[in-house]
Amino acid sequence: MTGPVVTGVDGQACGTDALRLGRWLADSLGGPLIVAVVHAAPAALGSGRVDAEWVADRHRAAEAVLNGARESLKDAPGEAEYRAVASTSAAHGLHDLAEEVDASIIVVGSKLSGAKNRLFAGSTAERLLAGSQWPIAVAPQEMTASPGDHGRVGVAYVDTPDGRAALEEGAEIARRIGASLRLYTVVADQDSTLPFLVGADAEHAFLETARETYEESLRRAAATVSGVEVDWRLLTGNVVDALTELDEVDVLCCGSRGYGPARRVLLGGVSTRLLRGARSPIIVVPRSG
């Protein structure tokens, strides 16, 4: 995880949040920061001069956004490289850049139509997350806490290949920044588990068994982590609601989903909904293998 941290900005307010998160991740992971703006590439079929003039205008606009990013980071420690990338879309451009520089992670901001201090993934984030081979970090709008304030990295953990990939990523980040690591698993509450016809006694027994199974899974997972202080929490309730309300971690690492190509992010139900309302920055981790 020593490759560059590629941070995409587009001149909107959410880009400031992405810059804050990207700067912190670059400093924490010990890699360079690359700030990128993607602008339109020349069309394969264009009208020559008109197309060239339009592309030149888009390039000038991209440089203006980069100048704004420089201004935002002028007082921040550490160096940054600024790139204007020509591509057919922001997601493709950031993917291509990440591949070119062998990035460790791609960082973007949230869509502006979500609630303040919450994630609400826009089209660029969602397209990046559709098959990325790199972890994708998404910053909430108008983050109230600065990255690093909590000194804790969170992992949404289940004992699956995706959950173990998230644990590996979270543990590595925690080690590099000297933070503690906290694992979270959510067990459903009594009202949302089994149909009422099953009976209260059977439902209670089911919940107790599930809780014991999850607790043992968390203990085993925590025991595999070395070089960092680690603990775990078993939360009760709706899994998405419980995880989106977390505001005690600097970032929350989660897997994508339990199927699909190896080493690719392919969003599942939980990870998709987390990106619609989380209070903390989210890092969605590709499947290992």
Q: What is the pLDDT of residues 126-173, one digit of tens each?
A: 677 666 788 989 888 766 667 788 999 999 998 888 889 999 999 999
Distance CA 110, CA 190 (A): 34
Domains of the chain by start residue, with CATH: 5-285 (3.40.50.12370)
Residue 58 has pLDDT above 50, yes or no: yes
Percent of the chain with pLDDT over 70: 73
What would the mean pLDDT of 181-203 be, rounded to a whole number? 65
Give the per-residue pLDDT at 262: 37
CB-based contact 171:225 (threshold 8 Å): yes
Give the per-residue pLDDT at 69: 92
Mean pLDDT of the chain: 79
Residue 12 has pLDDT above 60, yes or no: yes
Confidence of residue 190 (pLDDT cuts 50, 70, 90): low
Give the per-residue pLDDT at 279: 79
Instruction: Read off φ and ψ for residue 103, nearest 5 degrees.
Output: -65, 155
Q: What is the pTM of this model?
A: 0.82
**pLDDT higher at 209 or 16:** 16
**pLDDT higher at 35 or 278:** 35
Give the per-residue pLDDT at 218: 94
Give the per-residue pLDDT at 252: 92
Residue 37: closest CA among 100, 108, 90, 105: 90
What would the mean pLDDT of 248-272 be, rounded to a whole number? 62
